[in-house]
Amino acid sequence: MARRDKNDGVMTREGGSLGAVAVIGAGTTGASWAGLFAAHGFEVRLFDVEEGAAAAALSRAAAAARFLAAQDLADPAMVERGVAGLTVSPTLAEAVAGVSLVQECVPEDLTLKRSVFAEVSRLAPSDALIATSSSGLSITAIQQDAHLPGRTLAAHPYNPPHLVPLVELAPGALTETVTLERARDLYRRAGKEPVVLQADIPGYIANRLSAALWREAIELVRRGVASVEDVDRAVRYGPGLRWAAMGPHLIYHLGGGAKGIRGHLAHLTASKEGMLRDLATWTTFPPDAADLLAEGLWAETAGKSLTELEVARDEVLAALLRALRDK
């Protein structure tokens, strides 16, 4: 996470708002996005077709923003101004009027997302960015019916969006290059660490890497090599710690001594290839996976509720972010 002064990228001159953002879809992801934008000085409008959903998301968004302030990850005064500016729009047209960004967070249904993009793109300003939060659907498919599809893109967050800095920006076939450049700047102002993909690919970067790791993590349990808890501990107290500091390429570059990555590959190619030949290769989840994982997770969590686990996760993530910011 880039080092930021508390006032860097938060407000414009005279303390004015950075602009308006519409969050369409007020579920867990939408509320988290809304909290992040509010905490960083944007006027945020929530809209959802389900009656009462957006209103219920307001309190979750406010809590997300205030969590950032409490953890010294956002300016408290800014957060309170942002929370005061969180509103629910009664219609989609009112939600997107005059906005600089529309963050779509509706359920993962291609037909629905295409419909939302088509309607939003005709109601929003012609220069507004329109981004999907989808984690698995193609932005190329979603943008097909959009008006001015060149300003549409994927902006995939990592859960929870208000706390995990990563946002993966991906173009569709019709996305203009300038759209990715504008989006990168806007999300940086919202406290994000954007990475820009050059292609529309299923799962983006982080989800593909996570899926590969998780497949092997499941297989180690299935083969009786280790328990669910010990596999999790191996990641948490081993590579997970290093990955919070550097990515895998740079980690292995350091592991090669004076010759860097060339030395690493020259020294360890044979052993790593032996591991690769022994890794799981299945592409359909084994039928026993859910039961094995559920049983192992019950033992690992010792009966803690999902809420308790989320609180513990968020506090650790906040501590890591502070450490990275202050390094």
Question: CB-based contacts of 100: which residues, under 8 Å, 6+ apart?
Answer: 18, 19, 20, 21, 125, 127, 128, 129, 186
Per-residue pLDDT in tens (0 to 9) along the chain, 327 residues: 333 443 333 333 233 457 899 999 999 999 999 999 999 999 999 999 998 999 999 999 999 999 999 999 999 999 999 999 999 999 999 999 999 999 999 999 999 999 999 999 999 999 999 999 999 899 999 999 999 999 999 999 999 999 999 999 999 999 999 999 999 999 999 999 999 999 999 999 999 999 999 999 999 999 999 999 999 999 999 999 999 999 999 999 999 999 999 999 999 999 999 999 999 999 999 999 999 999 999 999 998 999 999 999 999 999 999 999 987
CATH, domain 13-196, list 3.40.50.720, 3.40.1390.10, 3.90.420.10, 3.40.50.1820: 3.40.50.720
pTM assigned to the model: 0.90
Task: Work out the end-to-end distance of the chain between its first and last CA atoms, rounded to an integer number of angstroms.
Answer: 10
Give yes or no for a contact between 45 and 88, defined as CB atoms under 8 angstroms apart: yes
Domain ranges of the chain: 13-196, 206-326
The DSSP 8-state label assigned to residue 305 in this structure reads -
Two tokens at 226? 């280790």
Please give the distance of CA 128 from its chain centroid, rounded to a whole number. 21
Q: Among 3.40.50.12500, 3.50.50.60, 1.10.1040.10, 3.40.50.1860, what is the CATH number of 206-326?
A: 1.10.1040.10
Kindly list the strands in the beta sheet with 20-24, ordered across the sheet, starting from the edge strand earlier in the chain. Answer: 87-88, 43-47, 20-24, 101-104, 129-132, 152-157, 166-170, 193-196
